[in-house]
């Protein structure tokens, strides 16, 4: 794929939509494209991780190990990003991400991530927005799970 | 309090610790100090909101309405921030925040928030870090709540 085609592709990702096309060339040069086949694992819960992924095509499940087995907590689609927690918080991967179909991704290393965030505030705002949405979504699920707990029988 | 004292106070808040002291003057000029007495409500779940708060002193409970009543999901302490979801996601307040003791806050309006984020990438990174931690914490609580669900009896 030509550099121009790469830039066009990046421009269509909402995370980068407010970045000037000329500056997107840096990103097109630096970010790595990685393709996964259905069933492949992008990252394993508990592993060290120093990169995030943006889904360019396909779908991937986010799986979390619980006492009752592995639970799918979300399904990622085109333009979603994942893996930023290990970069931001210096913790092991907090979930397993598994390709639900063939998946094409843009891999953003830790260094590139911090470079981008420092250069492009619009990208930071989009990431904050998405993280705030995730806090909300998880809190809503938690609220529901707590409401469903059985009331202790009175003797 | 003098401007210099205000700047010294801001410099000790981790969110602003990497911002040059000279630039903190802008913030000291623009951000509003608000004091709440124990039991006062900083914001109500469901209300429109266009400001975030940084706790300078005291503690505040984050309360969420559930089917089983109001649940305390977190307690905020000095240097914690709250209220950014309504600003970032343009949604009503997602929780009620109530002063657990007398509480002193720095109120950051929506406009100032976006100004700061655009000018100070270090602040964006701190906010992203805290949001990522919150996703993690809530996901862990959810995992636990799901694990505690009773297994359906087999007939």
Predicted confidence (pLDDT) per residue in B35-44, tens digit: 999 999 999 9
Q: Does some domain include residue A63?
A: yes
- B67 with B98: CB under 8 angstroms? no
Q: Does some domain include residue A57?
A: yes
- A42 with A53: CB under 8 angstroms? yes
Task: Give the CATH number of the domain where residue A50 resides.
Answer: 2.60.120.10
Radius of gyration over every alpha carbon of chain B, rounded to an integer in angstroms: 18
Q: What is the pLDDT of residues B69-96, one digit of tens each?
A: 888 888 999 989 899 888 888 889 989 9
Q: What is the ipTM of this complex?
A: 0.82
Residue A128 to residue B132, Cβ atoms within 8 A: no
- How many domains is chain B built from? 1
Q: Is A117 on the interface with B (CB under 8 A)?
A: yes
Distance (Å, whole) CA A106 – CA A83: 12
pTM exceeds 0.90: no
pLDDT higher than 80, residue A153: no
Q: Is A91 on the interface with B (CB under 8 A)?
A: yes
Residue of higher predicted confidence among B92 and A5: B92
Query: What pLDDT is stored for residue B122 in this prediction?
Result: 86
Residue B58 Rama label (left phi>0; alpha psi -120 to 50; beta) = left
Residue A18, CB-side half-sphere exposure with 13 Å CA sphere: 13
Task: For chains A and B, count residue pairs whose Cβ atoms are closer than 8 Å.
Answer: 114
For residue B145, how many other CB atoms are within 10 A of its CB? Answer: 18
A73-84 burial, b for 16+ CB within 10 Å, e for fewer?
Answer: bbebeeebbbbb
Q: Is A152 on the interface with B (CB under 8 A)?
A: no
Secondary structure element (H or E) that encloses residue A152, with its range: none
Secondary structure element (H or E) that encloses residue B88, with its range: helix B84-89
pLDDT higher than 70, residue B129: yes
Query: What pLDDT is stored for residue B150 in this prediction?
Result: 58
Q: Does some domain include residue A55?
A: yes
* Ordered strands of the B51-57 beta sheet: B32-36, B103-109, B51-57, B81-82
A-chain residues near B121 (CB < 8 A): 117-118, 121, 124
- B82 with B76: CB under 8 angstroms? yes
Q: Which of A95-109, A138-152, B49-63 has the lowest mean pLDDT?
A: A138-152
Q: What is the pLDDT of residues A66-121, one digit of tens each?
A: 777 888 888 999 989 899 888 888 889 989 999 999 999 999 999 988 988 888 88
B-chain residues near A123 (CB < 8 A): none
- B39 with B57: CB under 8 angstroms? no
- A63 with A74: CB under 8 angstroms? no
Q: What share of chain B is helix, strand, coil (3-state, %, to 5)?
A: 40, 30, 30
pLDDT higher than 70, residue B149: no
Q: Does some domain include residue B21?
A: no
Residue B143 to residue A91, Cβ atoms within 8 A: no
Query: What pLDDT is stored for residue A150 in this prediction?
Result: 58
Domain limits for position B52: 32-146
Q: Is B152 on the interface with A (CB under 8 A)?
A: no
Residue of higher predicted confidence among B3 and A84: A84
Query: What pLDDT is stored for residue A154 in this prediction?
Result: 47
Query: What pLDDT is stored for residue A120 in this prediction?
Result: 87
Residue A121 to residue B125, Cβ atoms within 8 A: no
pLDDT higher than 90, residue A53: yes
Q: Is B34 on the interface with A (CB under 8 A)?
A: no
**Integer angstrom CA distances of residue B95 from A10, A39, B36, B71, B77:** 36, 39, 17, 10, 16
Q: Does some domain include residue B12?
A: no
User: For all residues of chain B together, what is the average pLDDT?
Assistant: 86
State which residue of chain A sits closest to B137, comparing Cα positions. A135
* DSSP single-letter state for residue B100: S
Mean pLDDT across B117-138: 88
Q: Does some domain include residue B87?
A: yes
Residue (of B55, B58, B61) closest to B75 by Cα position: B61
Residue A145 to residue B145, Cβ atoms within 8 A: yes
The encoded tokens of residue B58 equal: 């005291």
Distance (Å, whole) CA B88 – CA B83: 9
Residue of higher predicted confidence among B31 and B77: B77
Query: What pLDDT is stored for residue A61 in this prediction?
Result: 97
């Amino acid at each position: 794929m030509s550099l121009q085609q790469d830039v066009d592709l990046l421009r269509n990702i909402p995370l980068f939509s407010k970045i000037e096309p000329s500056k997107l060339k840096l990103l097109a040069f630096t970010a790595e494209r990685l393709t996964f086949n259905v069933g492949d694992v992008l990252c394993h819960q508990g592993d060290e991780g120093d990169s995030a992924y943006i889904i360019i095509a396909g779908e991937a499940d986010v799986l979390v190990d619980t006492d009752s087995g592995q639970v799918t907590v979300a399904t990622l689609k085109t333009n979603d990003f994942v893996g930023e927690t290990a970069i931001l918080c210096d913790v092991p991967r907090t979930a397993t991400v598994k390709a639900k179909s063939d998946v094409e991704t843009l891999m953003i290393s830790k260094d590139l991530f911090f470079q981008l965030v420092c250069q492009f505030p619009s990208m930071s705002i989009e990431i904050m927005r998405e993280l705030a949405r995730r806090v909300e979504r998880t809190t809503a699920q938690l609220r529901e799970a707590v409401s469903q707990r059985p009331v202790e029988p009175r003797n």
